[in-house]
Structure 1
């Protein structure tokens, strides 16, 4: 039985080839019915393209007592490590460079190969890695909280987000959409179709 059911009330949803979300006629909940691999691939591709300028352009300008310093994410990591703040430097590196890049590469690969038969267990493991990494996405919000705290230092310091910060925010948004849109059942769909 290939009927999609409402995630809230378990009502059978109407078939729709043109919509990604369908509203349940019984409870009104919007349910994802499309595979989402095309949307996930498009968002992951967009985020990968934006990832490069997000890391190359200045992330923040900080002015302390009249001395202005503009730096990229990587320059900020280097400065933190040189000042002895290794723990914070590692957190920033993981949250801003390594984890987003790994997540984007996996989402791009899954979006590209989800409907292609073969290696279903490997693809499922990759999807589970993305889900596990997703739990650590709150680190981005932690970094934004630190940035806001720096910006509110009053007369001692003045901080302004650079172009890299705005582009990085777009990377985060596209990554979240790519992750939410991907339907892991498409990995196994070809296997089920062969059996029936």
Structure 2
């Protein structure tokens, strides 16, 4: 990336042409990148941002795929347990209901929000933001929704639920006849799609597209 401007010249530049490193706080001129390029801090090597190719189209495809997997991931059986002649099928939703019926309403609400409610809300926020950029409508609402999404990122804990499910499967293998359901594959696919989406949906390009600074980010 280009060398940072002289400190005397930085004060004369508008704020939209400046960028600060998140790691070492070095203030420098914002570089112009082509598709596939990334900008790194010249002092500490931290990746400032990357310019990815067709970020909106690729992100839209991932969001729609994740939304299609959401229902089977949460409502289809994750596992079937056969113990002493009794069989039961467990889903994410049945786990929430089981906690609620056991008198642990607070825990049931927390599990519902972190494993079902907030992940769905995040996907809907991403969809609205991407559509506002793609169709060039409601940019001000897109900015608000994207800010809300940034606050929700820390509360979606699909990976924690997935890890807990895997631990439970390992512990139950020696106690009962256990068979895995299609819901587990859908849940794992949903988790992978959300991670892939986080990598693909470049925040730098999204903010620029929402503010109208970079029309190329819409393609």
1:149-174 C-alpha deviation (Å, 9 max, x unpaired)? 42343644565542112211211222
Q: In 2, distance between residues paired with 1:184 and 1:121?
A: 11
> Within 5 A, what are the aligned runs for 1:19-38?
19=36, 21-22=37-38, 31-34=49-52, 36-38=55-57
Q: In 2, distance between residues paired with 1:150 and 1:160?
A: 13
Q: In 2, distance between residues paired with 1:4 and 1:169?
A: 40
Higher RCO (CA-CA < 8 Å; seq separation 6+): 1
- Report what 1:79 is aligned to: 98
Q: Normalising by structure 1, what TM-score?
A: 0.74
Structure 2 counterpart of 1:101, from 116, 120, 123: 120
Does residue 186 in structure 1 map to residue 204 in structure 2?
Answer: no
Q: Normalising by structure 2, what TM-score?
A: 0.67
Q: In 2 relative to 1, CA 161–96 (structure 1 residues): closer, same or farther, beyond 3 Å?
A: farther
How many residues in Structure 1 have an aligned counterpart in Structure 2?
189
Query: Which of structures 1 and 2 has the bigger CA Rg?
Result: 2
Q: Which has the higher helix share?
A: 1
Does residue 147 in structure 1 map to residue 165 in structure 2?
Answer: yes
> Within 5 A, what are the aligned runs for 1:129-140?
129-137=148-156, 139-140=157-158
Q: In 2, distance between residues paired with 1:44 and 1:81?
A: 30
Q: In 1, distance between residues paired with 2:171 and 2:215?
A: 58
Post-superposition offset of 1:28: 10
Query: Is the 1:23–1:31 contact (alpha carbons within 8 Å) kept by the matching residues of 2?
Result: yes
Does residue 45 in structure 1 map to residue 68 in structure 2?
Answer: no
Query: Is the 1:13–1:22 contact (alpha carbons within 8 Å) kept by the matching residues of 2?
Result: no
Q: Which runs of 5+ in 1 are unaligned?
A: none
Does residue 62 in structure 1 map to residue 81 in structure 2?
Answer: yes
Q: Which runs of 5+ in 2 are unaligned?
A: 1-13
The RMSD of aligned alpha carbons is 3.5
Query: Is the 2:129–2:143 contact (alpha carbons within 8 Å) kept by the matching residues of 1?
Result: no
